[in-house]
Structure 1
């Protein structure tokens, strides 16, 4: 989160920031009690969020139209973890000044911190349109697309920018990740090859491991990812992919450790939540699985995999009607989701709905016949 303060512009590297924040400082001196504002700024700089909130609340009480006071109050609230209250302050600023760069950025970051990635994406997108030079907003806009599973959108955003600036390693990783997740492995391999040539071997190893995992080459994926993590254990998303590869290789205990490690670094990692929750559910630890699976569904409400895992969890805990409703809705949207039909058949059997069970069994058989006719397919993570 960012606030207005003397000297802040030299730390804030986004283009055109100096002019913007210098203007806010002048407004502050003209419209806010300087001593009070200075005290609030010192409290914020010292990390005393409670005192900063108290003082900035006094600032905005005395000057309700103070844009800089409300922005900084929002920063203090967000730093204290009060993201909803911070959001209110930023939205009040934007109602008066819709193109205020700092308020829009901090609003988007508050939403992002709450894992409200769809709403945060809208704010980052609006910021990009009003301030196209804001690189941080661009990166986080693309990251929201990745977190939401909108890989084609991430590619459409990152690919032109990467062509214009192929030395941007953040863009390179975003684009490579999106291409591999979208199944465009040949184009993803081109990005990996360039990373190798330019010396970015650890990140290239992560992308290579992701591609190998997608192709079902689990042993090679595990090896590639382990080598990459030995070089740099802090590559975003690497521990999650490594955990998935270990799981597919049958090393479940190590897989759980890797996924928990991933969630320590990023509690809002959808794949880590989903796969750790699924592993715990299959192991019979439904209490341990539930918070991870529900958080995964919160991050991506439209995810078939997350919806399926919740339905399977409800079935495992004996909530058969809830599970039936969840899975019936799921197969309406994804009628070829074989595992969901298998679960439904078992649920109907437990509910003594013989005809419904028979119908689901026929659907499962039909999908199995179709799969055999189509030949081997990449492994499913559902």
Structure 2
């Protein structure tokens, strides 16, 4: 009796296992068919249909690489970027070194200020065969936005050394150096840019700001004026000039500053606090 019972139990388990395997095989076949159908919809431009098909398949196989990737791609084609990025990130967690997935992360992560994710995705692309040089501009930008000034300086210097005509990266480099407290080095970068590219209102203004940090107010005034000679419509530069004029022990300069504050009062954002600065300066001048 025990032998018969044992045989019955064994047969039942084998049958259950066989049915389970058949069920899994059917599900795998169904997922494969749905994936192919979704790809056809995606390729034909029917992105909503593709989304619905890939979602249905993903319920059966939630960790499938192709389903996550193509669902993200379908949402991206529909300009539904939040959903697209969500699925690309899920795919990235599961398939760390996948080049197609990392390529999408590099493109989309900055839209959500996920600069660290974009930088890590670039590292994967380099690890899997790309030349890092092709990513130097992105790395300079992403590190700057991620507030890593040391790495920003590194990549800006690489870019400039490789191509001295890369004008924008002189400004990037100078800003990063300034944020690191290297004001003289920052100004020297800008002087090099001025020598190579000619006068620039932005470069002169940034040099002026560096001189303020170095407590050299006369030189700051000189370079703000140089900046305004090129771009006299820059209200922030006018206000910065006026601010340093008020710091000097010279009545004529304080009167000039008051005139600047009044002239640009309406166009100046409240953050500059001209409401309090103007009355205080008038009182100081006895007006």
Matched, 1:225 2:227: yes
CA distance in 1, matches of 2:188, 2:168: 16
Higher helix fraction (1 or 2): 2
Structure 2 residue corresponding to 1:39, chosen from 41, 45, 48: 45
CA distance in 1, matches of 2:272, 2:149: 23
Question: 5 Å matches for 1:230-269?
Answer: 244-249=240-245, 251-252=260-261, 254=264, 257=267
User: Secondary structure of 2:197's match?
Assistant: coil
Structure 2 residue corresponding to 1:185, chosen from 178, 183, 200: 183
CA distance in 1, matches of 2:266, 2:92: 43
CA distance in 2, matches of 1:204, 1:161: 19
- Paired residue for 1:211? 210
- Paired residue for 1:77? 80
CA distance in 1, matches of 2:49, 2:241: 51
Deviations 1:319-356 (A, max 9, x none): xxxxxxxxxxxxxxxxxxxxxxxxxxxxxxxxxxxxxx
By how many angstroms is 1:67 displaced? 1.1
- Paired residue for 2:248? none
Q: TM-score, normalised by structure 2?
A: 0.55
Question: 5 Å matches for 1:367-382?
Answer: none
- Paired residue for 1:104? 105
CA distance in 2, matches of 1:252, 1:59: 62
- Paired residue for 2:140? 139
Structure 2 residue corresponding to 1:58, chosen from 52, 63, 77: 52
Matched, 1:199 2:205: no
Rate the CA distance shift 1:69–1:191 in 2: closer, same or farther, 3 A: same
CA distance in 2, matches of 1:72, 1:240: 44
Answer whether contact 1:213 1:221 (CA < 8 A) is retained: no
User: Secondary structure of 1:257's match?
Assistant: coil
- Paired residue for 2:166? 168
CA distance in 2, matches of 1:56, 1:229: 52
By how many angstroms is 1:55 displaced? 5.2
By how many angstroms is 1:70 displaced? 0.6
Rate the CA distance shift 1:190–1:278 in 2: closer, same or farther, 3 A: closer
The higher relative CO (CA closer than 8 Å, separation ≥ 6) is in 1
Q: TM-score, normalised by structure 1?
A: 0.43
User: Secondary structure of 1:39's match?
Assistant: coil
CA distance in 1, matches of 2:74, 2:138: 19
Contiguous gaps of at least 5 residues in structure 2:
1-34, 59-66, 126-131, 246-256, 278-287
Aligned Cα RMSD in Å? 3.8
Deviations 1:33-89 (A, max 9, x none): 434553356xxxxxxxxxxxx5563253255415133134146123xxxx4x45422
By how many angstroms is 1:252 displaced? 4.8
Answer whether contact 1:172 1:191 (CA < 8 A) is retained: yes
Contiguous gaps of at least 5 residues in structure 1:
1-28, 42-53, 113-119, 261-275, 284-382
User: Secondary structure of 2:96's match?
Assistant: coil
Rate the CA distance shift 1:63–1:70 in 2: closer, same or farther, 3 A: farther
- Paired residue for 2:283? none
- Paired residue for 1:14? none
Rate the CA distance shift 1:137–1:211 in 2: closer, same or farther, 3 A: same
User: Secondary structure of 2:164's match?
Assistant: coil
Rate the CA distance shift 1:221–1:72 in 2: closer, same or farther, 3 A: farther
